[in-house]
Chains A and B, each alone.
Chain A
Amino acid sequence: MKRRIARRPSEVAAQTGDVPETPGQFVQIDVKPEDIGAELLPILSRGLYTDPFHAIREYVQNAVDSGAALVRIKLTGNSIVIRDDGEGMSWSDLVKARRFGVSDKDLKENVGFRGIGIYSGYDLCDRLFITTFRAGDTMQSVLEFNFAAMKKRLEADKKKGLGTPLHELLKNHTRFKIEPSLTRTPGTTVELEEVSDYHIRSLRDSDALRKYILRNLPVDFDPQFEHREAIKKYLKEHVPGYKAVRIIVEIKEGESIQVVRPAIPNLSSPETRLIRAPGTGATIAVIWSSLHKKRSRIPDEYEDYRGFVYRTKGFTVGDNRRMQPFFKHGGSTLHAWYTGEVYVVDEKVIPNTERDDFEANAAYDVLRSQIKLTMEELDNQGLKFQSQQRAVTKLKECQRKLEGIEKKVQDRIGDPALMFSELEDIISELKQHRAKFPEEFKDQGKAAEKLANDLRTIVHKIITDGQRAKRESTSSSTSTSSTSTSSGEGQQDSEREPSRPTISSIVEEAGIQVSKPIARVFELIEEVMASVLRPGTREYSAVLEGIQSAIEEEFSAGE
């Protein structure tokens, strides 16, 4: 529908050069096509597309907007060919595609909307060909931009001091035609022909291009990624116009790289959530997140996927460090345990031109505050997960130790006193982590504790039986006067309490290395504690347990 601009009564149309008859009255003067200079083309093209990758992005974006699922980017000789399997364009669509700064694309559904992207190759190549076929058409349509001729004309006119009208430049140096289609396969082929050597050199860096694509285009997940379907299904349901493409890059000779979000192994089932604006309840962002199940950050080879990124219509805004400060525990390290995306669906939140942040406005403030809350929640979840996983590791360790002790008891081998001490430690560990076991491990925890207690009873009995037997044999074989000392010593040995934790042992267990002076400081603290609280008392144990928890809390989040 054409927009009508209402003319104010005081404004009167006038011809260029006619001086208004009435002073003080504004007049409108027609803008003729020749009033818009063709220099606008290089200015905009060079200004907006400073990197050759930007041009590639623009053409792939068009492919995405046309519903493509697969895009191939190929470099052969000094040509770049971008082929998509989208729905293609009709003749009239293609004619419209030539328009400059005019686009019919729906802002909600499509990535591109400025209507300039097609000219992004202007500075890169001499010619641009677009060959397209749409289902139901009988012929394919072809559009050729002769950028070399445009540049030549602009240069020549400039030298002559003439201005070149934009419409004339576009009309004279673009051509259309229809031709039979060989396969009648819907889709579009864009070819940038005679790309300059300078740009070809930068474009040959396939690794840089891959990274660029991953950051700037809505790239699909690797088909091997176990959560691919679940995440895509959720995003399709909740992110308007969600699209994802597989991109194959054939830039280096003999190399065919499939650009997909990689299949990161050992990820938990994705958690999804909708972020709503307080008050209106409208969805402003859609999130998916997965935790690395290995209780560590996402492995180095997937470093680019650690943490969260903002996405709007498939673009990454900023990098994967933007939401890191919202993770407080362990120096923000839990952020790297996650991988996920935040799809911004609030249209009022607009990426800035550099796409490294959003434009500052109230909508962005709301988004940021809600995201902060969500990320803090995820941080706490991560922390809980971490302590749960640590507890599970401890449980497994205890179970292994118990197995060993049980076997020794059955085989009647090993030092009962040592086993008793180990069992005491195990029971203490299990008690300490009992509350942190995830639901599915609670029964195992209980069973382990029961086994440890049972074994302790058995071992205790072995010890006391042994002592009794020893006493009896000693009393029968030696004189009463000479046995008292040794018997007393023996009792002391076998009934010696299991070693208690010390500050040094707690610190050591936490994997912290301490220097000699600090170790000495710990000893002094323990001496003072012993003189005040006395070892073995509940108070003494409580202080030590407190120290242990504090150290674990402080130093383990960053594992």
Chain B
Amino acid sequence: MSGTANGDFEGGPEKAYVRKHWDLPVIHGLSARKGRRLRYFGMPGPAIEDIRDWSDEIEYVTAIELLRPGQEEDHDRERLRRLKHSLSERGIQYQVLRGYVEDVILKAHDIDGQQPRYRNHGDPTGILRFCYDVVNLDFYGGAGYKSKTVLGQPKRLAAIKELFRRQRGTEFVFLLTLNVRTTIDKAVSAHLNQWRARIGDTLQPAIDWYVSRSAGKVKYRLKAAMLAFVQRMAEDEGFRVYCYPPVAYIGNANATMVHFLFACEPTSDAFHSVSVQSPDDLVRLPLLTCSENAITPEIEQHTGFDWMHCHHALANAPHCVGKSLQAFIEQRFGITP
């Protein structure tokens, strides 16, 4: 966590570690598969830390930054100025959209009517599709607010849902970072309770465990709920999703953040797509934590957590970190592969 001379908080070392050692290998893999540098959509902020860390893989940036009228305007304009300066200074090709990212996704344009650069008008359904390779939604706020809803659904969740609809047909890496501070915690719990019905009997106590976590351990609940939510939304829009274990870390102003990483591969399935990971697999995924330049599993996991299964699941994690995580589990829990 670090404050800057501009009064903004930029990401701290944990976040940087996650970006470089957890996200980057997956982004690099996509770039190698596509045979070109990637198109980024997200909120890099004036320090463009993610863009700087991934610069070798990124070709074009669609950056979204707030511009709120009133008291915040001066502050927001300053952030916009520094964002453009940072992108220009590095010679990156970019566009800057102004407004809330949720609105840009939902409306497909910003407050000035500007549309994201990589889009496809030729869709027979008439829906304006986005064609981005990396979508990075870094919500310093939580998953949503009761006060900001779209037909009763928190705007951020509605935007995530819409994102998959817009991105339909394009393989992409989806990065989502959420603050555990959320006013929709009840909704999260309700979602988990509904999901419980789709989970095998043996794992139902695990769901109960997540739901019963105290307010100080919302990260667990968020982990379980968001994985299920994103997988479902993506599958509805024809994506086969691979969910990496979420990573929790302490971010700005001591806020606990949970970082999610999804590899979304479009399919031509006529109906709902089905991912390799089952709902049970998602529940079984560990919550990881990043601190002091290392990613390790949280020692506390849900009831009946299967470390052997976790060890297997980590074989798909970004190579270096995955290996060290497996070694950690072997050593700590005496697992022999």
Contact = CB atoms under 8 A, between A and B. Distances in A.
Contacts of A72: 88, 91
Contact of B81 (A83, A131, A183, A256): A131
Interface in B109-163: 110, 112, 114, 117
Interface string A92-132: 00000000000000000000000000000000000101010
Contacts of B47: 182
B191 interface: no
Contacts of B5: 179-180
Contacts of B26: none
Interface in A51-75: 72, 74
B322 to A, nearest CB: 31
Given A77-B110, A253-B95, A179 B84 contact: no
Contacts of A185: 89-90
Contact of A256 (B52, B93, B98, B112): B93
A77 B4 contact: no
A86 interface: no
Nearest to A200: B112
Nearest to A144: B81
A9 to B, nearest CB: 55
Contacts of B242: none
Contact of B89 (A76, A129, A182, A250): A182
Contacts of B95: 76-77, 253
A517 interface: no
Contacts of B48: 182
A77 B81 contact: no
Nearest to A254: B117
Contacts of A131: 81-82, 85
B97 A83 contact: no
B117 A253 contact: yes
Contacts of B89: 83, 182-183, 185, 187, 189
A79 B96 contact: yes
A83 B84 CA distance: 10
A72 B91 CA distance: 8
B86 interface: yes
Given A131-B81, A254-B117, A76 B91 contact: no
A179 B6 contact: yes
Given A74-B88, A81-B88, A250 B93 contact: yes
B77 interface: yes
Contacts of A74: 88, 94
Contact of A77 (B52, B86, B97): B97
B165 to A, nearest CB: 22
Contacts of B112: 77-78
A83 B88 contact: yes
A191 interface: yes
A422 interface: no
B91 A129 contact: no
A67 to B, nearest CB: 17
B77 A193 contact: yes
A129 B78 CA distance: 10
A254 to B, nearest CB: 6
Given A180-B5, A189-B84, A76 B90 contact: no
Contacts of B81: 129, 131, 142, 191, 193
A175 to B, nearest CB: 10
Interface in B59-109: 77, 80-82, 84-86, 88-91, 93-98
Q: Is the interface of A mostly helix, strand, loop or mixed?
A: strand
A189 B85 contact: yes
Contact of A180 (B4, B85, B90, B97): B4
Interface string A372-406: 00000000000000000000000000000000000
A462 B97 CA distance: 88
Interface in B1-41: 4-6
A384 B279 CA distance: 85
A182 B86 contact: yes
Contacts of B94: 74, 76
Interface in A159-192: 179-180, 182-183, 185, 187, 189, 191
A70 B96 CA distance: 22
Nearest to A197: B112
Nearest to B96: A76
Interface in A218-245: none
A440 to B, nearest CB: 47
A280 to B, nearest CB: 47
Nearest to A187: B89
B114 A77 contact: yes
A234 B246 CA distance: 62
Contacts of A79: 84, 96
Contacts of B114: 76-77
Given A180-B4, A191-B81, A77 B88 contact: no
B6 A76 contact: no
Contacts of A254: 117
Nearest to B4: A180
Nearest to B47: A182
Contacts of B96: 76-77, 79
A74 B63 CA distance: 14
B97 A183 contact: no
A447 to B, nearest CB: 56
Contacts of A127: 77
Nearest to A183: B89
Contacts of A187: 89
A83 B82 CA distance: 13
A90 to B, nearest CB: 17
Nearest to A186: B89
A87 to B, nearest CB: 14
B67 to A, nearest CB: 10
Contact of A76 (B4, B84, B86): B84
Contacts of A180: 4-5
Contacts of B90: 183, 185
A78 B110 CA distance: 12
A83 B6 CA distance: 21
A191 B77 contact: no
B93 A189 contact: no
B53 to A, nearest CB: 13
A254 B121 CA distance: 15
A78 B111 CA distance: 11
Nearest to A139: B5
B98 A77 contact: yes
A77 B114 CA distance: 6
Nearest to B97: A77
Contacts of A189: 84-85, 88-89
A383 B117 CA distance: 53
A76 B84 CA distance: 9
A76 B81 CA distance: 12
A216 B244 CA distance: 55
Contacts of A78: 112
Nearest to A184: B89
A250 B88 CA distance: 11
Q: Which of A76, A253, A254 has the most CB of B within 10 A?
A: A76
Contacts of A129: 81, 85
Contacts of B84: 76, 79, 81, 189, 191
Interface string B149-191: 0000000000000000000000000000000000000000000
B334 to A, nearest CB: 46
21 contacts: A77-B97, A77-B98, A79-B84, A81-B84, A83-B85, A83-B89, A127-B77, A129-B81, A129-B85, A179-B6, A179-B82, A180-B4, A180-B5, A182-B47, A182-B48, A182-B86, A185-B89, A187-B89, A189-B85, A191-B85, A253-B117
Q: Which 7 A-B pairs have the closest CB atoms?
A: A83-B88, A189-B85, A131-B85, A76-B95, A129-B81, A77-B112, A76-B96
Given A77-B114, A187-B89, 17 more contacts: A76-B94, A76-B95, A79-B96, A83-B88, A129-B85, A179-B6, A179-B82, A182-B48, A182-B89, A183-B89, A185-B90, A191-B81, A191-B85, A193-B77, A193-B81, A250-B93, A254-B117
